[in-house]
Structure 1
């Protein structure tokens, strides 16, 4: 029987029910874990067939709710994002991070931007796995399903340094002392901070749609203020929370046709959470204050990136319009530098996944 993905099986002689299937997997530290997947099962009557599950999953009869005496099981796991990835919650420092991990091989850490979650990588991460990497996709602190720290007066709880420490702790927890790293948008600032603070941990660094926060602010003319006004609006106390929570769907304007339905659903659930909105705004407030101070201290100390750096920017976004070739700015931050534009709007992992994945594979 051909069972379409995401639909229950149809059979004229069967009763239908939804069950949970326990799938035995292994997480990177080799501790056994069970992941629950929603599936559909058919009870086929009048056939003397063995009780054999399909699709190579381990079926537990104790997981079936209702129905006794099943004689034949027809199973199709719902196909969707990150099918070969393990999802878990990891306690790191003062945070609990939601993380997806897939594949075996050299580790790669992917950091999403605003207002996305780790699901934004759903078209890129599997390609990296196929190329022989182990891929780690967390929700940043405050975002998605990761914990939401209480704001602090100096915004340090949402600083890029705090996020960088989270990410280093996560990768150490997974058994990786060194790893390749890519970050997009707000995630790129956390990736930059991690590479500056812990250079021995990062083998190669890819920054997407990014120049340092301090470089943006040093060039903050009327064009920047007009195009990136949201930086300064988000920095205001309380007002952005009231405006955005009134109608987050209209404010953020996601599109399932572009994002992919499951990615869109996950994103939409996240941005409807007032605690997530507050945490994302704190990310921006930290950017204009403590994060800027950290970057300016690095420049005063003449600290630069020690690892190879790849810079990619979306050609249908405004980074090149504002600054010309971003590599000209990065020359003061890294000596081993390369990069180019990508034919995409801002969210290149969703809109240009093939080009992005190929470029990252070749670089890493």
Structure 2
């Protein structure tokens, strides 16, 4: 995986992040989702590294990165703190500005990074996700049925951790064929650590509390993403089933240019359609028009 990339642990003070980086050119930060590690990008990152410097960290709590103690508000696992980690990481590697691409819960981190640090983010891409505050505001029976895991993992510790830890193969059914053998093995190592399971549940607990408050505060104050934004979703994923017009959901969150479309893929676009994703990203970063699409 990741030919000619450097793998290291970067100490940022509060946390140390495992990160893989390589390539040459404008900087791109790739932010994974749950339950993945940075290796989810192993099919995409080498394609982008042909003309970009690509940085792929494990978020705090995930993979081999630090798993700090939590608090009653679950703020140590808020997307604001994760976004601050990412900013510190990029600056430690010498990148003052960069594109950010976030998938799944990493999409919430990427969006928070663009909202909190607009001078750093030149372009935002959100993969198969809508903002947390928007998802919860629109929550209905269909959402609660399809994404019930949001509410289960957010229950008080140690209930979810115990249930998940007692049957990992039931909860995480990824296969080496889907992910690639090395990436799958990396995920298995992460999931074998009870601290990782706890940290991932903390991510969800923060999502229903402090993260939603941050999103609601931004909406009330009129804060929006100012940089050009690309939203992509898998046509075979749950997102187009939950939201008839995904682009319309994002319009209230983006003050800058917004492009949005579905791509033929399931939820894990970077693993299932890496060449198509690389093409879409390069077009967006080059300023090539990618029209907003409806249902």
Query: C-alpha distance in 2, partners of 1:82/1:152?
Result: 36
Query: C-alpha distance in 1, partners of 2:128/2:68?
Result: 26
Of structures 1 and 2, the one with the larger relative CO (CA 8 A, separation 6+) is: 2
Query: Number of residues paired by the alignment?
Result: 283
Q: Once the 2 structures are TM-superposed, how far is the Cα of residue 190 of structure 1 from its aligned partner?
A: 0.5
Q: Name the structure 2 match of 1:223.
A: 142
Q: Name the structure 2 match of 1:354.
A: 275
Q: Name the structure 1 match of 2:260.
A: 339
Q: Name the structure 1 match of 2:248.
A: 328
Match of 1:200, SS state, is: coil
Query: C-alpha distance in 2, partners of 1:320/1:127?
Result: 27
Q: Unaligned regions of 5+ residues in structure 2, if any? A: 286-295
Trace 1:16-35 onto structure 2 (pairs within 5 A): none
Query: C-alpha distance in 2, partners of 1:363/1:145?
Result: 31
Q: Unaligned regions of 5+ residues in structure 1, if any? A: 1-80
Does 2:117 correspond to 1:191? no
Query: C-alpha distance in 2, partners of 1:254/1:231?
Result: 19
The counterpart of 2:153, out of the listed 219, 231, 234, is: 234
Q: Name the structure 2 match of 1:138.
A: 57
Q: Once the 2 structures are TM-superposed, how far is the Cα of residue 250 of structure 1 from its aligned partner?
A: 2.4
Q: Report if the CA contact (8 A) 1:208-1:311 is conserved.
A: yes
The counterpart of 2:200, out of the listed 251, 264, 280, is: 280
Q: Once the 2 structures are TM-superposed, how far is the Cα of residue 297 of structure 1 from its aligned partner?
A: 0.2
The TM-score with structure 2 as length reference comes to: 0.95
The TM-score with structure 1 as length reference comes to: 0.77
Trace 1:89-128 onto structure 2 (pairs within 5 A): 89-128=9-48
Query: C-alpha distance in 1, partners of 2:24/2:180?
Result: 26
Q: Name the structure where helix makes up a greater proportion of residues.
A: 2
Query: C-alpha distance in 2, partners of 1:262/1:362?
Result: 30
Runs (4 or more) in structure 1 with deviation over 3 Å come to none
Query: C-alpha distance in 1, partners of 2:88/2:133?
Result: 26
Query: C-alpha distance in 2, partners of 1:102/1:182?
Result: 16
Q: Once the 2 structures are TM-superposed, how far is the Cα of residue 93 of structure 1 from its aligned partner?
A: 3.4
Q: Once the 2 structures are TM-superposed, how far is the Cα of residue 151 of structure 1 from its aligned partner?
A: 1.4
Q: Report if the CA contact (8 A) 1:93-1:166 is conserved.
A: no
The counterpart of 1:177, out of the listed 90, 96, 112, is: 96
